[in-house]
């Protein structure tokens, strides 16, 4: 029996990745491992676009694995991913990775291991009052695997600098962080044109707000006792809606600023994917509006080609 290929479905927000991954999991008798840096958190459902009803009977992993307010990191993702993949493979099932956090996807594909990075209180104190643009500029000068597309708050930028600094100061760890690229993966990107992506982002944002996304954030703060600063740390929906709940933004200001931020985020995601390709990851791009059966058949063909090549 031929070895199963790893199937990875990625692409920008609002491109319809989850439905594609579910179709493939059903076709290949597989299970899905999420590669989304915010769907990990319990209770953060509408704001992260979990859309759990889309999975139906298909098992999924690395969704709802830690409490809201926790600051999950790349080291933990790689550790938990390896456990999930080994479990799925041990049962003879197909692994389908689905998500748009390019850092998670690329680091996993490169076979990189990362040692845990402790807090550096002195560094945090020095950086605490610096604005986001200055922190981002600092980060851009550092050799790091950090996904800068996922950094839209100072706290996240400081953590990224903390990680990069730690590795620089501990050169003996370099061997662990060197790439050992996987050769068994078929990586498929869901391609969507800019105008359609923007329209889908706006429509989806309106729908999630109608479904109660503001109430979700209010519950996290008032009922679950999550520190508002911890929600702001997650960026995007949780940043702007928390600011609205705290009275710092009107509803219209919140919607306008959040809509812009999500559009910018999607643009940064595409920049990351193009970078992945330059760095050696071959992404097979398929149209977002491809008929479901045609999409599945196209991926099956790619898997067959990869297996026989």
CATH number for 6-112+180-205+269-308: choose from 3.30.200.20, 1.10.420.10, 3.40.47.10, 3.40.50.300.
Answer: 3.40.50.300
Assign 114 a pLDDT band (cuts: 50, 70, 90): confident
Q: 130 Cβ partners below 8 Å, 6+ apart?
A: 138, 154
pLDDT at residue 149 greater than cutoff 70: no
What is the Cα gyration radius of the chain?
A: 19
**Is 117 a residue whose pLDDT tops 60?**
yes
What are the distances in angstroms from CA 129 to CA 54, 135, 231? Answer: 42, 10, 19
What single-letter DSSP state applies at residue 205?
A: H
pLDDT in tens, 165-224: 988 888 887 677 778 899 999 999 999 999 999 999 999 999 999 999 999 999 999 999
Q: What percent of the chain has pLDDT over 70?
A: 95
Residue 142 has what pLDDT? 82
Question: What per-residue confidence (pLDDT) applies to 99?
Answer: 97
pTM of the model: 0.84
């Amino acid at each position: 029996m031929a070895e199963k290929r790893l199937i990875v479905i990625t692409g920008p927000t609002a491109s319809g990745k989850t439905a594609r991954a579910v179709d493939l999991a059903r076709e290949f008798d597989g299970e899905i491992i999420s590669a989304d840096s915010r769907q990990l958190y319990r209770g953060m459902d509408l704001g992260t676009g979990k859309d759990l009803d889309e999975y139906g009977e298909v098992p999924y992993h690395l969704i709802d694995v830690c409490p809201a307010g926790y600051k999950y990191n790349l080291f933990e993702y790689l550790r938990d991913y390896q456990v999930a993949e080994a479990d799925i493979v041990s049962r003879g099932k197909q692994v389908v990775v689905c998500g748009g956090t390019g850092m998670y996807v690329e680091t996993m594909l490169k076979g990189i291991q990362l040692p845990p990075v402790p807090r550096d209180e002195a560094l945090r104190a020095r950086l605490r009052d610096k604005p986001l643009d200055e922190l981002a500029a600092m980060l851009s000068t550092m050799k790091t695997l950090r996904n800068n597309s996922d950094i839209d708050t100072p706290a996240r930028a400081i953590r990224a600098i903390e990680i990069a600094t730690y590795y620089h100061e501990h050169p003996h760890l370099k061997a662990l962080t060197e790439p050992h690229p996987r050769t068994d993966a078929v990586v498929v990107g869901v391609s969507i044109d800019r105008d359609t992506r923007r329209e889908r982002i706006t429509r989806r944002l309106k729908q999630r707000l109608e479904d109660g996304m503001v109430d979700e954030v209010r519950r996290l703060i008032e009922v679950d006792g999550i520190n508002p600063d911890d929600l702001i740390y997650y960026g995007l929906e949780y940043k702007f809606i928390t600011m609205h709940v705290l009275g710092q933004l009107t509803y219209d200001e919140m919607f306008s600023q959040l809509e812009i931020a999500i559009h910018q985020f999607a643009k940064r995601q595409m920049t990351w994917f193009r970078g992945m390709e330059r760095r050696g990851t071959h992404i097979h791009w398929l149209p977002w509006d491809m008929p479901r059966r045609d999409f599945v058949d196209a991926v099956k063909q790619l898997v067959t080609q990869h297996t026989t090549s």
